Structure 1
Amino acid sequence: MKIKIIETTDAQAWDAYVRTHHRGTLYHLSGWKNVIEKTYGHKTYYLMAVKDDGLVYGILPLTHLKHFAFGNSLISIPFFDTGGILADDEQTENTILTEAARIGRNLRAENIELRHVAYLSCLNCNFPDPFGMKEAVQIRSHKVLMHLTLPESSEVLMKSFKAKLRSQIKRPLKEGLYSKIGGAELLDDFYEIFLVNMRDLGSPVHSKKLMKNVLEAFPDKARIVIVYKENEALACSFIIGFKDILENPWASALRQYSRLSPNMLLYWAMLEYACDNGYAYFDFGRSSPGEGTYKFKAQWGATPTPLNWHIISLNREPANVETSQASKFDKAIQYWRKLPVSVTKIIGPMIRKHIGL
């Protein structure tokens, strides 16, 4: 078996494998390689296992993030919820992981982070482990994905909601709010809301180029949703479809309009779109059990699926998972919230590109 770093000519075979693998997700697709490289300039290592018959037996998308404050890691993949190894069998898993460790060692990376839903079974098997990965792996299961199973139509979904939820959805409509779904023509409105909301949360904002590049990479499946009051944009989200799931990686709303409940109309617009376009599931994204966003998603009927992020130390010592990138940045949140939006728009992407979460 040969492990190769893919070239442009390999993208079709890579994506065909992801689409047919039962654990293949949106974030395994090869398009994210170009999105990440074009947006932030990070070096990527998209590993593909090929045998003599020319068939693909496994893949692993990796991105190298290196920064003096946020660490030196190989992540599959940064900025999103899922990734990791897809393989036909445990031996192929192990072969790919060993090659990833070799690359990590050459880059002097501290760890490899694989964002799996399922456990990586090869770590429990008796395969060669030249880099001591099995003794230096920790699994973080503190976050969950929130998935809603969808009926055959949005009308049926609306009828399934409790009266209180239906009333909350209708309230913004009575206030004159309306939703619009489109593409790049809505990007400016999306980013202005996203920018303000990220500042209010105390988090550096992603570059606008990231959303632009995603729209270009997935033109048939990526959409922007905006909720308006007259001509003013109040809430926004980004949706991308893959297989039978509609994903929602980003959503924001302006706090000064919370009394109008634009968020309720925003999420209904996404769910309506998902149902009426034949998706079987809606992915609300990751949450921490018991927190506000978890409860908000649960009220729609979403149920949790634990994430199992594997953090493999390349120093033969278990990684200190409590000292995450997020916790390193927590101390700066209160100061970030006080900055002018115009300032965060400039310096936010410079910082955010190095934060893998």
Structure 2
Amino acid sequence: MTVQAATDGVAWNAFVAAHPAGTVDHLWQWRHVIADALGHESLYLEARRATTVVGVLPLVLVRSRIFGRSVISLPFLNYGGILADGNDPDVVQALIDAARDAASRFGGSHVELRHTRRQSATLPCRQHKLAMLRDLPASSETLWTALDRKVRNQVRKAQKAELTVASGGVELVDEFYDVFSRNMRDLGTPVYPKALFTLTLQTFAREARVVVVRHGRQTAAAGISLTFGRTVLNPWASSLRELRPLCPNMLLYWTLLEQAVADGAEVFDFGRSSPGAGTHQFKLQWGAVEHPLCWEYVLLSRPEPPDQGPSNAKFDRAIAIWQRLPLGIANRLGPIVAKHLP
């Protein structure tokens, strides 16, 4: 068995599509999106037996002025890590060893593997995030009747408030970003550059969709979905706080779910959440089921896995300061800072 840098994106995507744990985040195209939008190089490793691909591992070499150098699979996205044919432990270990070597050459302090399940019994693992998934029925009518009465009432409230819905592609990215960037400022989180979403929608033109909910001429909520096989993932969504009494976020998610059913999807992935967070509770009310994630770590120059998320109390003051920034300043500074927050 050999492990090497992959060069054939077609073969890579075919392996990802055939693997039961493959996700849209594992696809080859993300290496170009992340490089062009966020400035980070990638190293996509493949394991082969003779000429047959038996495992893949997408890696991004992150140079952060805040956290230093690290190697992550995959930053800025929900999932990543190793896909091994038949979960072969020899393939898993060979890819871990190759990732360790790559991180050492790069000068990284650690490798972070954002797995959906434990792949190695010897690596330290953090289970601080949950994937939130809901199985979908064959019809939107069945889905509607299965929803909690409170959820249905809130969707009806939005409809009675004469909120309107539009779906499309990259032509709606400005509306999406207007809502998303304001919500990120309100949360105290630097916003990603608009280029990340523009390139995502252009690169995955067939798989990606933007949904916007409008109140008159104002965009009240917006989200992006990505289809992979029989799963629809919603990685990004936001709504305006001042319009939340009209429930535009509820109409947004009902529309995303209804469209997923119409497209023949079998699973709706609400994206990851931190246990107990507001987004966690919001997704539970839609019938999402918790699936604990396992982020595994190869440690090179640090004694324990990093805790670099906003739930870490040491970032409370920075979050509070960011929340008070004027929106224009937050939107100028955010994309500069966010690329250093993987």
TM-score (norm 2): 0.96
Distance 2:317 2:70 in 1: 22
Distance 2:114 2:154 in 1: 35
Computed over aligned residues only, the root mean square deviation of the Cα atoms, in angstroms, reads 1.3
Distance 1:320 1:306 in 2: 17
The alpha-carbon deviation at position 67 of structure 1 amounts to 2.1
Amino acid corresponding to residue 72 of structure 2 in structure 1: I
Please, which of 249, 268, 286 is the counterpart of residue 282 of structure 1?
268
The alpha-carbon deviation at position 15 of structure 1 amounts to 0.2
The alpha-carbon deviation at position 292 of structure 1 amounts to 1.9
Aligned length: 338
**2:201 matched to 1:204?**
no
Aligned counterpart, 1:68: 65
The alpha-carbon deviation at position 48 of structure 1 amounts to 0.9
SS in 2 for 1:331: helix
Distance 2:215 2:227 in 1: 27
Aligned counterpart, 2:137: 151
User: Which consecutive residues of structure 1, in runs of 5 or more, have no partner in the other structure?
Assistant: 125-133
Does the 8 Å CA contact 1:114/1:309 hold for their aligned counterparts? yes
Distance 2:58 2:316 in 1: 28
Deviates more, 1:156-165 or 1:345-354: 156-165
Aligned counterpart, 1:324: 308
Does the 8 Å CA contact 2:66/2:341 hold for their aligned counterparts? no
Aligned counterpart, 1:26: 24
Aligned counterpart, 2:109: 110
For residues 183-240 of structure 1, the C-alpha deviation after alignment (integer angstroms, 9 at most, x for no partner) is 0111111111111111111000000000011111111010101001122110000100
Distance 1:62 1:70 in 2: 17
For residues 5-60 of structure 1, the C-alpha deviation after alignment (integer angstroms, 9 at most, x for no partner) is 122xx0000000000011111111101111101111201100011232x2111000
Amino acid corresponding to residue 303 of structure 2 in structure 1: P
Distance 1:162 1:235 in 2: 21
Alpha carbons of structure 1 residues 48 and 320: separation in structure 2 relative to 1, 3 Å: closer
For residues 248-296 of structure 1, the C-alpha deviation after alignment (integer angstroms, 9 at most, x for no partner) is 1111011111111111101001000111110001111111222321111
Does the 8 Å CA contact 1:70/1:325 hold for their aligned counterparts? no
The alpha-carbon deviation at position 340 of structure 1 amounts to 1.1
- Identical aligned residues as a percent: 41
The alpha-carbon deviation at position 162 of structure 1 amounts to 2.8
Please, which of 257, 262, 269 is the counterpart of residue 255 of structure 2?
269
Alignment of 1:74-153 (within 5 A): 74-88=71-85, 89-120=88-119, 123-124=120-121, 134=122, 137-153=123-139
Aligned counterpart, 1:355: 341
The alpha-carbon deviation at position 65 of structure 1 amounts to 1.0
TM-score (norm 1): 0.92
Alignment of 1:38-49 (within 5 A): 38-49=36-47
Distance 1:330 1:181 in 2: 36
Aligned counterpart, 2:321: 335
The alpha-carbon deviation at position 161 of structure 1 amounts to 1.7
Does the 8 Å CA contact 1:312/1:319 hold for their aligned counterparts? no
Distance 1:35 1:117 in 2: 22
Alignment of 1:102-251 (within 5 A): 102-120=101-119, 123-124=120-121, 134=122, 137-251=123-237
Distance 2:129 2:94 in 1: 28
For residues 294-351 of structure 1, the C-alpha deviation after alignment (integer angstroms, 9 at most, x for no partner) is 1111111111000000122013x53244x42533543311111111111111110111
Does the 8 Å CA contact 1:111/1:319 hold for their aligned counterparts? no
Does the 8 Å CA contact 2:29/2:203 hold for their aligned counterparts? yes
Aligned counterpart, 1:297: 283
Aligned counterpart, 2:15: 17
Does the 8 Å CA contact 1:61/1:83 hold for their aligned counterparts? yes
Does the 8 Å CA contact 1:177/1:227 hold for their aligned counterparts? yes
Aligned counterpart, 1:306: 292
The alpha-carbon deviation at position 61 of structure 1 amounts to 0.2
Distance 1:228 1:43 in 2: 38
SS in 1 for 2:124: strand
Distance 1:165 1:198 in 2: 25
The alpha-carbon deviation at position 113 of structure 1 amounts to 0.1
Distance 1:161 1:99 in 2: 46
Distance 2:292 2:251 in 1: 27
SS in 2 for 1:81: coil
Does the 8 Å CA contact 2:148/2:286 hold for their aligned counterparts? no
For residues 127-179 of structure 1, the C-alpha deviation after alignment (integer angstroms, 9 at most, x for no partner) is xxxxxxx4xx3211121111111100111111112322211110011001021
For residues 104-123 of structure 1, the C-alpha deviation after alignment (integer angstroms, 9 at most, x for no partner) is 11111100000001101xx3
**2:19 matched to 1:3?**
no
